Structure 1
Amino acid sequence: MRALVIGASGGIGGALAVRLAGQGAEVVALSRRADGLDLTDGAAVERVLGAVAGPFDQIWVASGVLEAPEKALKAMTPEGLMRAFSVNAMGPALVMRHMARLMPRDRPARFAALSARVGSIGDNRLGGWYAYRAAKAALNQLVHTAAIEMARTHPQAVVVALHPGTVETGLAPAQRAGHPAVGPEVAAANLLAVLERLGPDQSGGFFDWKGETVPW
């Protein structure tokens, strides 16, 4: 099996790359830090991913950013909104432009972008976190739409958004909102297990680390 991990310098991305390699996969691990893959720079994405040869049985986009989540409308700024959308929505979308080329058409293949439960409109009962919520909601729509298109040419493909749960990465305890956190290694194991269980009929969905559907 071959796997492509985007965001491999982060906690979850790094753990995914290590675990996949431990399972015997040939892993291509890319990041901004090591490879210049800046997901906010379209030219950088084209340059780095354009040099990558498929096919891949799994593609992971494990990048993302959460900076000073807003608690009120007055705390929103153009800069904060732009930053959240650039990294959390636009970046994965630029990666998805390469999906059709990088995934096989004649056998099962899986693509997962790490989303977040706070991106769920139906599950939003607390408010706040405007930029991050909206950016992840946009990511969910992008993934769902891409899955529809991919099904036309890659009928065995699975394209999904996954919520990893609360993970001990760069989030401060206050940003975890009191939720118990797991280490990146545990999160990676959970996510890989969920993705393996999903089939083409579930492509375009939004699932959590237990494999349960998250409402849009």
Structure 2
Amino acid sequence: MAWTLVTPSSRGIGFALTRHLLRTLPASVPVVATARSDLAGVKENLLSSIELSESQSARLDVQECDVLSENSIVKLAGYCENRYNDRSKDKNAHLRLGLMVPGMLVPEKAPDKIEYDSALDTLKLNLLAPMMLVKHFSGFLPRKSATLEGEDGLPKSAMLALMSARVGSIGDNRLGGWYSYRASKAGVNQLVRSTDIFLKMKNGDNAMCVGLHPGTVKTSLSEKFWESTPKEKLFSPEFSAESLIIVINGLEETGRGRCWDWNGKEVPP
């Protein structure tokens, strides 16, 4: 059985990605979503105002996870292994798509604007959180010997997709600033590459890791920049989520270990 994961899912791009998967995936594919609290409320919000069959709604599984706590991630991983990835019961059980999207932004304009605590918080949430998620969920991807079946709405190979950003590109950095955010997203790109090398050795063509750049999305993370962003470049979470899933599902083996934007263009290292 193939299953999917979106973490966190309570708001923003993670919320939109979860709803998109619920609308488009076969009812047989579970969607695990996470939140730090108010699980019932998050589940109600995820299911509100979208037309789903009873089976489509029933496969949504909202679980508690604080991505800043490794113990919380371990607890979630243990639950998912027992519920969805127990290969003693189903040898084909595997995580088909893991969307790991935690993020925050503090836009420091100059070195003297960097504050230690906020920079550390940025690095923890943007880089260490996905690193711990990769640590505890990469083992659920299909093994090299597995034979993957095609699933509508899902990529050909199993995939861990980590949220990066264009400003994480060192080669594309022409403006400077945003020190902690740029550094954390550059670190995500390195994490993607190293993880993908590992998956290539262990899982072969059955699993890969990629980075994603969603564009400037109208969420709380980018709220300070809504007015300064051209309207045609400020995306709704729904548009960005749909675009990213299209990109993910269209990636071939040659696209592994790299960062891709919402329009399917590579973000340079």
Q: TM-score, normalising length from structure 1?
A: 0.93
Residue 101 of structure 2 corresponds to residue 50 of structure 1: no
For 2:50, the equivalent position in structure 1 comes to none
Instruction: For residue 10 of structure 1, report the CA deviation from its aligned partner.
Output: 2.1
Give 2:209's aligned residue: 159
For 1:131 and 1:60, the matched residues in 2 are separated by 22
Question: Which residue number in structure 1 is paired with residue 251 of structure 2?
Answer: 198
* Greater shift in the superposed pair: 186-195 or 21-30: 21-30
Q: Which runs of 5+ in 2 are unaligned?
A: 40-62, 86-93, 149-156
1:101 to 129, 133, 139: 139
Q: Does 1:174 align with 2:225?
A: yes
- Contact 1:157/1:200, CA 8 A, preserved across alignment: no
CA 1:127–1:113: 2 relative to 1, 3 Å: same
Q: Which has the larger displacement, 172-181 or 125-134?
A: 172-181
Greater Cα offset, 196-205 or 112-121:
196-205
Alignment partner, residue 125 of structure 2: 87
Partner Cα distance (1:100, 1:112) in 2: 11
Q: Aligned partners of 2:227, 2:195: CA distance in 1, in Å?
A: 30
1:181 counterpart letter in structure 2: L
SS state at 1:150 partner: helix
Q: What is the Cα deviation at residue 32 of structure 1?
A: 2.2
Question: Which structure: larger Rg?
Answer: 2
Identity in percent:
35
Name the structure 2 match of 1:130: 179
Q: Matches of 1:144 and 1:165 in 2, distance apart?
A: 21
Partner in structure 2 of residue 29 of structure 1: 33
- Following superposition, the deviation at residue 173 of structure 1 comes to 3.8
TM-align CA RMSD: 1.6
Shift of 1:183: 0.8
Structure 1: stretches of 5+ with no match in the other structure: none
**Structure 2 length-normalised TM:** 0.76
The 8 Å contact of residues 97 and 158 in structure 2, kept in 1 or not, is answered as: yes
Q: Is the 8 A contact 2:159 2:207 kept in 1?
A: yes
* SS of structure 2 residue aligned to 1:189: helix
